[in-house]
Amino acid sequence: MQATDIFERLQNGETISSNDAQAYKMREASFATKKLLVQMNNATEPEEIRSFLSQITGTEIDESVMVFTPLHINYGKHTKIGKNVFINFDCVFLDLGGITIENNVQIAPKVSLLTESHPLNPAERQSLIPKSIHIKKNAWIGANATILQGVTIGENAVVAAGSVVSKDVPDNVVVGGIPAKIIKEIKSI
């Protein structure tokens, strides 16, 4: 049975036309999230920030998670955050396509996780193409890095500051550059 709800279709990776009958729901949801974000980004206590983030994501954010605001999210309900995750200042999560952040992930300032894109054809460019991002456990995403849609960052991987990651990153490597390429392997002690 094919999903009919726009948010289910987004999570399933379906391209959403700009004239889709339910497109307005994405805008409404973004404005509802924005109201919570304003409150979260003005909160000063870690517990309060986690409480707002729990409301935004629709999941319980573990007390081991630390978020330095501001954090910008356009939807929230398609973001899943594990335990002992650190998210530093001024990150951007466009999550309509789905973002999974596993345990022990570190995300530096100004990181962008972008699960959304648009067709190249100008006649269709207003459509939305969602593809999920998955950051596996113990990964470290460096400052001002951009992770593009459809990318998986492997366990223990490091993304160097300023990188643009457009392809999957294997476990236990350091990647860097634009586009990001493997720089070296990480050897366990």
For the annotated catalytic residues, the residue numbers are 118
- Residue 15 CB burial class (10 angstroms; 0-12, 13-18, ≥19): middle
Going 129 to 130 to 136 to 138, the CA torsion angle's sign is: positive
Please check whether residue 162 is in contact with residue 45, taking contact to mean a CB–CB distance below 8 angstroms.
no
**How far, in Å, CA of 9 to CA of 11, rounded?**
5
Task: Say if CB 94 and CB 46 are below 8 A apart.
Answer: no
Q: Distance (Å, rounded) from C-alpha 16 to C-alpha 79?
A: 19
Distances, alpha carbon 46 to alpha carbons 5, 29, 77, in Å: 34, 25, 20
* CA 149, 144, 44, 138 torsion-angle sign: positive
Say which residues have a Cβ less than 8 Å from residue 4's Cβ, sequence separation at least 6.
none
User: Position of tokens 């978020």?
Assistant: 67
